[in-house]
Amino acid sequence: MSAHRATGPCGASGRVVYLFVMTGISDAAQTVDTDLLVIGWGKAGKTLAKDLGSRGRRVVLVERDDTFVGGSCINVACVPTKDLIDSAEHRADAEPAAYLRQAIASRDSLVARLRAANRAMLETVEAVTLISGEASFVGPHRVRVRAGDETLEITAEQIVINTGSSPLLPELPGIDGPNVHTSQSIQHIAALPERLAIVGGGFIAMEFASMFAAFGSQVVVLERSPRFGAGLDDDVREAVLAALTDRGVRILTDAAVESIDQTGVNTPAGRVDADAVLVATGRRPETAALNLDAAGITTDERGFIVVDERLATSAPGIWAAGDVNGGPQFTYISLDDYRVIASQLVGDGSRTTADRSAVPNTTFITPPLARVGLSEREARRQGVDHVVAVKNVADIAAMPRPKILGETHGLIKVLVDPGTDLVLGATVFCTDAQEVINLVALAMRAGVTATQLRDGIWTHPSSTEALNEVLATLPTGR
């Protein structure tokens, strides 16, 4: 199959759109010069391409995998996994295997629509050129793109690397078995496993454990350390354990996996039978194919690109955005990476990663677990003076919404500076936690006091109004 080329006005040389297909392009190697080259179609990259292209800058965006058009968030991460989680929560009495197939089909339909919308978003910007192929540096500002046996070379004054990350698989006997999945491949598992073993006890593992238990699998989580959720406060950890175990998830600690075979996994404590195994042991940067040395770009010991607070790499005129730079692996951080880099390219250059404060995060188990700022464990370790307001969700009389929805697991916990009455951090583990935590984070950034949150007028019935009652447990006199 050959490439399709379309020409149009874009300076003296004209605009060229290369659509590489399967076996590559039909013409010999050519060179394209552009103002900005974006490698990888992540949140930061696509937003930069649209922004600068709309300003008339010549932009080329290269993506090697058509199934990642729009970035990992809409294709394999945030959106499709949360769609599956929502489907799992609504299974009711439906036959598990058939219901999972329907849920996957619904997920795929949503992803296809979002992928098409993302492509259209950039195809309509005249100054943006989209190229499908694998990029590799051949010099500081020169990149070779290969598709099949054909190549195209791109020179650019400025380059942004936005290639993301992918699941990291440990070296274990049997890790390449047909029953072994990553967080990406399991989203298209052929059949619902009656027994699912999850290797790893982090937040990705928690989400999939909660999801597959709701779909109808018997789930066992294998945590290699002595404590599950070791980074959580003890009361939060116990609440998470209760939510997971109440839906049938079994959690084993001190369970480092030694090997995997077609019928299960082996640990020092014994064997765990399983029809499928999900390995959720971390992620690695997608940098191997980039030949970063040719551009003089430094990486750390894990392969992540080293950047400064303006996301600049060690090579002048080249930035790294999103997961590949080793920062927090969240889509909204990638979006803020766009803002930081755009500040260098079209702004006053003042915005940096140091401007970030009170960045929240959510783990979408059921109910969601959301956090921002300091935990009680961290405050004690750092010697930060604090008081704590905490209540179990089931005991919050002024918060009927969880009872209406039939999900009363969890707790709400807020740390407050006793001297200033400012919020230091919060854990919101309840229905709608992913929304409530944003309010708390905004309060922290804006200097809103705990007393103001406590006395706020919130809609009813909502989850936000829990702040009235929870914060009322703080010592009086403020």
Give the mean model confidence (pLDDT) for residues 230-248.
Answer: 97
Query: 314 and 299 in one domain?
Result: yes
DSSP notation for 370-414:
EEEE--HHHHHHHT---EEEEEEGGG-TT--HHHHHT----EEEE
285 has pLDDT over 50: yes
Query: 62 and 32 in one domain?
Result: yes
10 has pLDDT over 50: no
Question: Does the residue 476 lie in any domain?
Answer: no
- Quick one: pLDDT band at residue 121, thresholds 50, 70, 90? very high
**Residue 202, marked binder:** yes
Tokens 């999103």 label which residue?
A: 322
Question: Does the residue 417 lie in any domain?
Answer: yes
Domain CATH code at residue 266: 3.50.50.60
First to last CA, the chain: 73
CA distances from 191 to 154, 216, 306, 457 (A): 44, 12, 41, 48
230 has pLDDT over 60: yes
Query: 369 and 439 in one domain?
Result: yes
Pairing type for strands 150-161 and 165-167 reads: unpaired
The tally of CA atoms less than 13 A away on the side-chain side of residue 65 is: 12
Domain CATH code at residue 395: 3.30.390.30
**Residue 245, marked binder:** no
- Quick one: pLDDT band at residue 303, thresholds 50, 70, 90? very high
- Quick one: pLDDT band at residue 269, thresholds 50, 70, 90? confident
Question: Does the residue 171 lie in any domain?
Answer: no
Query: 161 and 61 in one domain?
Result: yes
Instruction: Tell me the pLDDT of the chain averaged across its residues.
Output: 93
**Residue 364, marked binder:** no
62 has which bridge partners?
39, 131
Question: Does the residue 478 lie in any domain?
Answer: no
Query: 158 and 12 in one domain?
Result: yes
DSSP notation for 415-440:
EE-TTT-BEEEEEEESTTHHHHHHHH
Query: 262 and 291 in one domain?
Result: no
Q: In terms of DSSP H, where are the helices of 268-375?
A: 331-345
SS3 state at 257:
coil
| 149 vs 316: which has the higher pLDDT | 316
Q: Give pLDDT, residue 59.
A: 98
- The whole-model pTM stands at 0.93
18 has pLDDT over 70: no
Question: Does the residue 105 lie in any domain?
Answer: yes
Q: Are 199 and 257 in contact (CB under 8 A)?
A: yes
The phi and psi torsions of 225 (rounded to 5 degrees) equal -85, 170
Query: 263 and 155 in one domain?
Result: no
Using one digit for the tens of pLDDT, what is the confidence trace for 461-478? 999 999 999 999 998 754
Q: Which residues are catalytic?
A: 460
Nearest to 400 by CA among 452, 459, 353, 344: 459
Nearest to 212 by CA among 100, 380, 94, 67: 100
- Indicate the residue among 355, 389, 418 that finishes a domain: 355
Tokens 């406060």 label which residue?
A: 233
- Indicate the residue among 281, 304, 334 that finishes a domain: 281
**Residue 82, marked binder:** yes
Q: Give pLDDT, residue 15.
A: 41
Question: Does the residue 477 lie in any domain?
Answer: no
Nearest to 59 by CA among 32, 38, 39, 45: 38
Question: Does the residue 174 lie in any domain?
Answer: no
Query: 288 and 247 in one domain?
Result: no
- Quick one: pLDDT band at residue 149, thresholds 50, 70, 90? confident
Give the mean model confidence (pLDDT) for residues 319-346.
Answer: 98
376 has pLDDT over 70: yes
**Residue 282, marked binder:** yes
24 has pLDDT over 50: no
Give the mean model confidence (pLDDT) for residues 45-62.
Answer: 98
Q: Give pLDDT, residue 32.
A: 94
Angle at 306 between CA 171 and CA 320, to 5 degrees: 100
**Residue 204, marked binder:** yes
**Residue 203, marked binder:** yes
94 has pLDDT over 50: yes
Residues contacting 460, CB < 8 A, separation 6+: none
C-alpha 110/C-alpha 99 separation (Å) is: 17
- Quick one: pLDDT band at residue 17, thresholds 50, 70, 90? very low
What amino acid occupies position 389? Answer: A
Question: Does the residue 277 lie in any domain?
Answer: yes
Angle between helices 331-345 and 43-54 (to 10 degrees): 30
**Residue 206, marked binder:** yes
Query: 374 and 350 in one domain?
Result: no
Q: Give pLDDT, residue 30.
A: 81
Q: Give pLDDT, residue 116.
A: 97
Query: 159 and 96 in one domain?
Result: yes
- Indicate the residue among 247, 281, 315 that finishes a domain: 281
**Residue 164, marked binder:** yes
Q: Give pLDDT, residue 475.
A: 86
Give the mean model confidence (pLDDT) for residues 116-124.
Answer: 96
Query: 184 and 120 in one domain?
Result: no
Instruction: Give the range among 13-17, 27-31, 337-341 with minimum mean pLDDT.
Output: 13-17
Give the mean model confidence (pLDDT) for residues 227-248.
Answer: 97
Total count of domains within the chain:
3
Domain of 444, in residue numbers: 361-471
C-alpha 12/C-alpha 279 separation (Å) is: 52
Query: 375 and 351 in one domain?
Result: no
Angle at 21 between CA 18 and CA 23, to 5 degrees: 120
Distance of CA 268 to the CA centre of its chain: 32
Give the mean model confidence (pLDDT) for residues 355-360.
Answer: 97
Asked whether the bond before 367 is cis by omega within 30 degrees of 0, the reply is: yes
Give the mean model confidence (pLDDT) for residues 18-28.
Answer: 40
CA distances from 205 to 208, 223, 230, 280, 365 (A): 5, 10, 14, 6, 10
Q: Give pLDDT, residue 12.
A: 28
